[in-house]
Chains A and B, each alone.
Chain A
Amino acid sequence: MWKTFFSAFVLSICLMVPSVHAVTPDEVLDDPVLEQRARALSAELRCMVCQNQSIDDSDAPLAKDLRVLVRERLVAGDSDKQVIDYLVSRYGEFVLLKPRLAWHTILLWAAGPISLVAGMIAIVVTLRGRPKRLQAEAGSAQTKLSAEEERRLKALLEKTD
């Protein structure tokens, strides 16, 4: 529950490309629920002839064909997952703007969390080690006297006696 809530929260806050732009009036479905789903799906699908544009944003003819295709599948009763699977089977994983979590993308997905955890560990280790090391440095500098200093100290002590 919390997890889905959180990710939805994140999504809504950070959604950088708010919604549809290139959809033309004749494509829009009559059923608003289906249309909403179609748009959410299209935002995650890449227009493969464009540079880093979703089919939602793109004016390219291919993007239009894909938008229509997505809507056709939805009207035919496909679930979101079925639509995505269908497109991936036809065009390959390249069509997904959000790559699937699989062995070949595990590093991609884990990069952020790994750096965060690694950073935390590094900070904890440094903060813990630092007082000791500083003490050690200070200690070694202060306690160990050179032979010359030892001799002078001895001489001074003897003098006062």
Chain B
Amino acid sequence: MIIEFGHYALVLAFALTLVQSIIPFWGGITGNERLMAVASPVSVMLFILVLISFIVLTMAYLSSDFSVLNVVQNSHSAKPFLYKFTGVWGNHEGSMLLWVLILVFFGALVGFFGGNLPADLRALTLAVQGWVTAGFILFLLATSNPFQRVVNPPLEGADLNPILQDIGLAIHPPLLYVGYVGFSITFSFAVAALILGRTDAAWARWVRPWTLLAWCFLTLGIAMGSYWAYYELGWGGWWFWDPVENASFMPWLAGTALLHSAIVMEKREALKVWTILLAIFTFSLSLLGTFLVRSGVLTSVHAFATDPARGVFILGLLCIFIGGSLALYAWRAPMLKQGGLFAPISREGGLVLNNLFLTAACAAVFVGTLYPLVLDAITGETISVGAPFFNLTFGPLMIPLLMAVPFGPILSWKRGDLLAACQRLYVALGIALAMTLFTFWLWGMEKVLAPLGVGLGVWVMAGAVSEILTRVKLFEIGLKRGISRLWGLPGSAWGTAVAHFGVGVTVLGIVTASAFQEEHIQTMRPGDSVELSGYQVTFDGAAPRRGPNYTEEVGHFTIRKGGVVVSELDPSKRVYTARQMPTTEAGIYTTGFSQVYLSLGESRGDGAVDVRVYFKPMITLIWIGCVIMSIGAVFSMADRRLRVGAPKPSRKRTAAAAPAPAE
């Protein structure tokens, strides 16, 4: 009964999305305030209804209700509590329901906090949000209903895919979806602006915090997914250029471009038309990512053709939303007024350069991901496009961009002085060169290119620090006043510097972990030791163990440094009983920023086992850098000017929001 209640809530939500799609839209077009006022309460109600159906599905999982098909296919009564909970979105239907839940949550946020927006803009934004929601709830109900019952309920379920039985599943998809779906708000704003035919100051102010919010979560989500793959898949790799990864990486690239172009739009009223296009692209790429992952088209074009219901449905949604918004763009964008002029060498120019390289990189990843599918569909030829291709095409686009990063924030608006910027950066350049030479000295000419990469990472980091220091003129006005001025810097300045610093940290981690990794692959008997990078790894033996829903072979290792025991690791190989599926659990010892990584291979009889031992220098910087980037986004959001979701201060503000405040 409770299941039907959740099902019913979802159907009701669909009916409400139709209300949200039509009535506020009509009100917005005709300027009818009463119709427009429908949008906000409906968006909140919509969220409550979808939340109810999500809670119901969660209850079905927690109580192992095997009369529900979705629970039968993806759960097991012996599964640990946490995975019963996270298993809700560890499958197609549940994850789509989470997707929709987040979509309506964002809609409710706009409805709730959007009081300081012009009424017609808010109504139209929510209407567009309603169209997207209607499409996806219909998709759920028509092709992927999570509440479907089984006629003869089995006693036991098929269990969750073992790779997903990890704390990563609790964190990664929700973060990623908040990022993906968060861009729907910027999309809806952009489409609303196109329908209205105007982009006023309130519009510009609203786009950036939403972009920042979505980008922040997407960055964390991607980083989390990368770390999860790193420790769970047992190959020690952390990015595979897998189409599923690319599906989340493309919106990230476009979103990064968007949040930079939104600065220009907000501060200088320039690049409006381009920003709207980017907002459309970013969410379109999110939709495309959902399509790629959910339709099964990635496994093979033919798998898609044999069971096309879901794929065709999402493809249809994709065509309607992307095609429709681009057509609207082509029609309405020429009507929007262009603003502010700027010289090529200027802050705006720098941000345009950023957009150029990011969109080109995004295009390269896009084509690389889809090309094999299209080629197969058209000519029947099958080719593979993998990591070596992406490294070769994506990399060259990132190097000039990274070299330019420190210059951007230092150039002034409208017309910048490149020479003056260089003078401000010479300390950063000196530090980067010194680090390059130091790395050369440390490693000799054996790895010629890695030191240059180290230099690049340090250059970006040092550039970010020197930007903050020159802003407060720390060395000119003395330490005490300098520090007080540091406090006074606007949040967005801190945000830029912190996020750019994070980029440098990630680059540094990538270079060192790739170039200076040490690795041993060998068969070890109990008592055998491996020496690497100053650590002695001793294999003490392996023993079988039973978990709640798996059996495993656990190896015990002792790690010593200079004869002193620093850590003991228990990497294991598991077999999950319900699906008879093997997984590896790596043993990881973190020391400073570096890690010792152990992974078990085949057992060789009489206690011997194949072991892969890695020393990965500074590898954690890759993910720490991403976290720093997200912190940068939080700083920017905290900026007084933007303050996302700040309660509406007064009525006067609404009236004052229409003319552009002087910056």
Contact = CB atoms under 8 A, between A and B. Distances in A.
Given A17-B387, A112-B394, A93 B382 contact: yes
Contacts of A15: 391, 514
B385 A108 contact: yes
Interface string A93-105: 1111111000011
A9 interface: yes
A16 B239 contact: yes
B447 A12 contact: yes
A120 B392 contact: no
Contacts of B239: 16-17
A119 interface: yes
B341 A131 contact: yes
Contact of B237 (A14, A17, A94, A116): A17
Given A21-B612, A111-B367, A119-B356, A130 B338 contact: yes
Contacts of A127: 344
Most A C-beta atoms less than 10 A away, residue of B359, B361, B382, B395: B395
B156 interface: no
A112 B363 contact: yes
A32 interface: no
B456 A13 contact: yes
Interface in B73-118: none
Contact of B356 (A8, A13, A109, A123): A123
Contacts of B515: 12
Contacts of B243: 52
Contact of B389 (A12, A17, A20, A97): A97
Interface string A16-60: 111111111110100000000000000110100001111001000
A104 B379 contact: yes
Nearest to A40: B388
A9 B521 contact: no
B387 A8 contact: no
A69 interface: no
Contacts of B393: 109, 111-112
Given A25-B521, A43-B388, A96-B384, A13 B237 contact: no
B658 interface: no
Contacts of A76: none
Interface string B440-481: 000000010110110010000000000000000000000000
Given A12-B450, A17-B240, A105 B383 contact: yes
Contact of A13 (B363, B510, B599): B510
B364 A25 contact: no
B593 interface: no
A130 B289 CA distance: 36
A134 B341 CA distance: 9
Nearest to B356: A119
B385 A97 contact: yes
Nearest to A120: B356
Most B C-beta atoms less than 10 A away, residue of A14, A17, A44, A131: A14
B56 to A, nearest CB: 33
Contacts of B238: 16
Contacts of A17: 235, 237, 239-240, 387
Interface in B342-391: 344, 352, 356-357, 359-361, 363-364, 366-368, 371, 375, 379, 381-391
Contacts of A116: 356-357, 360, 397
Contacts of A57: 235, 237, 240
Contact of B235 (A22, A28, A44, A46): A22
Contacts of A26: 523
B502 interface: no
Interface in A51-82: 51-54, 57
Contacts of B511: 12-13
B381 A28 contact: no
A8 B243 CA distance: 25
Contacts of A97: 384-389
Given A96-B384, A98-B392, A108-B368, A13 B399 contact: yes
Given A17-B239, A94-B384, A12 B338 contact: no
A77 B352 CA distance: 52
Nearest to A98: B388
Contacts of A24: 521, 601-602, 610
Contacts of A147: none
Interface in B234-270: 234-243
A41 to B, nearest CB: 11
A26 B395 CA distance: 35
Contact of A14 (B240, B398, B521, B610): B398
B452 A9 contact: yes
A101 B235 CA distance: 29
List the 4 shortest-distance A-B pairs measured between CB atoms, nearest first. Answer: A97-B386, A112-B364, A111-B367, A14-B395
Interface of B: 234-243, 298-299, 338, 341, 344, 352, 356-357, 359-361, 363-364, 366-368, 371, 375, 379, 381-399, 447, 449-450, 452-453, 456, 510-511, 513-515, 517, 519, 521-523, 599, 601-602, 610, 612
